Structure 1
């Protein structure tokens, strides 16, 4: 089962659709519908079979993201694969002491070229690709914990677009892999499912670049 912590964002349901298209079992809980103890209980429940956690996009900053940072800490302690998207990535960085600051460029509903290291969840992709961005905040690179490596960056304004924990199965992206504006998004999600051992990742690999025709286009926002 994949747990999605929903930070009250319409894009959450695109993530749900994409993961369920791979036949993954997905449970969605709002960020104020569960606390740290609840996440720990899910992680310890063999019947729940929690294999991965996704921290969704959402408004505000990590302090507004409810249980998100606690869920990240539980994932780290239990070594549960975790993917943070947009606010989710910012919450990952904040949980390890990074500052979240105003981005040099406010970007909402635009695609930017992203270059990356081709490893982890970004493996098997072209050296750069276009990706959807909806954010006004970003990680302060000078405060990023040494426990994270920068994995992706925007070409136009040099903002951190991806981070990966150096030892744990935890990655985050600032862009939206669930958006139709991110053609490589399905492949990134497939890589996460492979990491988590949930669903049939090849079904998302086959959908690369075709969210719209697969019925996975952006929800209203």
Structure 2
């Protein structure tokens, strides 16, 4: 199940439908109706932070959830969710030169991870008045920018499975929006697969330590 934190966005169900079209179950819970422990108890495959109005500080549990759960599950932030990722990792959020609502812009991206096998440049739908600006020493890599004014359109954490998209993949204005979501689903599956492999590798060591401990007691 993919858990979507709803930042009071009117199109959150369109986002959920993209996951469901890819064969995934979703659950939508508003940003002020759940706690970190409740998220953990649900055991979602990944956490999705939806678009929404206002600023990251107004996004309910989002920033705290990113900080608490970024090592426990993949996270995808969209628009306000993307800005919340920036807030969680020390980036600045500022007013865009021109607020953009319902505009298709061309972006160039790195063609990796969430953008794998997607054309660059490509068109994306934008609905935002804030932009993200990571600091020079930020743990966030910039993975996409607009071609006209070089504004940041996507970020990815250098070491953690955390991805941010300033634009809306669920918008009709975004080409390959469903492919972006499918890529995130694949990234999530691979992350869990590697996590389980690492668990299996560590088990023999733990058993060996337990045996050695028993031998010492007998001696």
- TM-score interval (norm. to shorter): 0.7 to 0.9
**Aligned positions of 1:182-201 closer than 5 A:** 182-197=174-189
Q: Are 1:8 and 2:8 matched, yes or no? A: yes
Contact map agreement 2:89 2:138 (CA 8 A) in 1: no
With normalisation by structure 2, the TM-score equals: 0.83
Distance 1:56 1:144 in 2: 26
Structure 1 spans left out of the alignment, 5+ residues: 44-49, 199-221
Distance 2:92 2:104 in 1: 25
Number of corresponding residues: 190
Deviation, 1:197, is 2.4
Distance 2:36 2:45 in 1: 17
Deviation, 1:70, is 1.8
Instruction: Considering fraction of residues, name the structure with more helix.
Output: 2
Deviation, 1:87, is 0.4
Per-residue CA distance 1:84-131 (angstroms, 9 max, x = gap):
100000000101121110012211000000111111101101121010
**Aligned positions of 1:26-175 closer than 5 A:** 26-43=26-43, 50-78=44-72, 80-141=73-134, 143=135, 146-175=138-167
**Equivalent residue, structure 1, for 2:25:** 25
**Equivalent residue, structure 2, for 1:213:** none
Contact map agreement 1:130 1:183 (CA 8 A) in 2: yes
User: Aligned match of 2:171 in 179, 193, 202?
Assistant: 179
Distance 2:18 2:189 in 1: 16
**Larger CA Rg, structure 1 vs 2:** 2
Structure 2 spans left out of the alignment, 5+ residues: 191-219
Deviation, 1:140, is 2.3
With normalisation by structure 1, the TM-score equals: 0.82
State the structure with bigger RCO (CA 8 A, min sep 6), 1 or 2.
1
Contact map agreement 2:124 2:174 (CA 8 A) in 1: yes
Other structure's SS at 1:194 match: helix
Deviation, 1:69, is 1.0
